[in-house]
Structures are given as C-alpha cells and as structure tokens.
C-alpha cells in the first residue's frame, strides 16, 4: 500500500470516528460513510498494482504467463461487498434520522431515560453494598461477621445483636430475637 493511500485511509477513519461520536444523526451518517470509503480504499490498495484481468481464457500460469501479471480478484470482490454494505448502512441510518426528525423535529440523539434510571439504580446499589460492607461500630458485626446472637450474611443488617433478615438468631428463626430486637415503642 502506498504511503499516500495509507494516509488517506487513516484520515478518513479518523474523521469518520470523530463524526460517529457526535450526538447529531447527520454527522453519524457522514461518519459511517467516510469509514465505508476508507474500507474500500484499503481493500483496493491491498490488491497491489493493476494487472491482466483474471478472466477465463486469459493469460494463466499454465500458458507460461507470470502469475504476478494477473490481478488479484479477491480485493475487488471484497470492495464491491464493502460498497453494498456501506450503502445499506447509510440508507438505514438515513431512515432512522428521518424518523427522529419527524418525531422530535431535530436530529440530536437524546439520552435514554430508561438508561439513566438503570444507571442511577446501579449507583445506589453500589452505595448500599458499600454501606453494608462496613462493620457495625456498636458490636463489630456486619455482613459476613459473627455477631453475639448469629452471623451476618449478604442480606443481613448486622445490627447490635447480629440478627435481622437473612441472619440466624438463637432459635434459628432467622428473624428478630423476641425481647431483644423488638421495638418497645410500638404496640403489639
């Protein structure tokens, strides 16, 4: 591959990648088109110099012709395939951009609210697991620690008596210990 073609392919891929990372659908379509053109140029450049056509009845190695004089048909076939795929992808992205423009009047890609909700739940779950992983200051119990009345577990609270949901109390009930973990202020 010549140096000029190599630089051209690198520039097309770089600009295409930059455009794809933007939030505007029209730029994303142009970015994919540039990357498709870069793929075609890279495939054509990998085919080497032009040669005799690889046709039936043409020069072949059996006729005494040099095999280096025949053009390699594989990069040409792959280039045609890359053109068709790039064209199909461009049409699909244009259809998405048109639909987005019809729905919102803009081609800007907004954040998905469901993705934001899931991400915030994941952050809250990580914060909760960090809080429960710390030992309880009162009795030194927590998840995975042994308390005076039982063991802490992944679902346990690690309270003063080491009991709670997922923990084993003195009677093996897995719940609060009567008389010790019951709130005295609430009527029974």
Q: Is residue 46 part of a domain?
A: yes
Classify residue 42: in a domain, yes or no. Answer: yes
Number of domains in the chain: 1
Decide if 141 is inside a domain.
Answer: no
**Residue 23: predicted pLDDT:** 85
Q: Which whole-number Å values give the CA distances from 150 to 44, 130, 131, 153, 185, in the listed order?
A: 72, 21, 20, 10, 24
Helix, coil or strand: residue 24? strand
Domain assignment of residue 13, yes or no: yes
Which residue range forms the structural domain that includes residue 76?
3-50+72-104
- This prediction has a pTM of 0.52
- CATH code of the domain containing 91: 1.10.287
pLDDT in tens, 90-143: 999 899 888 888 888 887 877 778 888 888 899 999 888 888 876 555 555 555
pLDDT in tens, 76-92: 888 899 999 999 999 99
């Amino acid at each position: 591959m010549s140096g000029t073609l190599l630089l051209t392919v690198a520039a097309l891929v770089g600009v295409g990648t930059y455009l794809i990372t933007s939030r505007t659908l029209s730029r994303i379509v142009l970015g994919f088109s540039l990357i498709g053109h870069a793929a075609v140029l890279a495939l054509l450049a990998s085919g080497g110099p032009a040669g005799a056509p690889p046709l039936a009845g043409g020069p072949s190695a059996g006729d005494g012709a040099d095999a280096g004089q025949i053009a390699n048909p594989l990069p040409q076939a792959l280039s045609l395939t890359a053109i068709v795929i790039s064209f199909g992808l461009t049409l699909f992205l244009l259809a998405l951009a048109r639909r987005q423009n019809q729905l919102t009047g803009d081609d800007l890609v907004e954040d998905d609210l469901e993705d934001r909700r899931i991400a915030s739940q994941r952050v809250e779950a990580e914060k909760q697991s960090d809080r429960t992983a710390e030992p309880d200051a009162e009795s030194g119990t927590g998840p995975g620690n042994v308390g005076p009345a039982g063991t802490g577990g992944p679902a346990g609270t690690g309270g003063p008596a080491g009991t709670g949901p997922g923990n084993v109390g003195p009677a093996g009930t897995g719940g609060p210990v009567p008389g010790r973990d019951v709130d005295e202020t609430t009527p029974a």
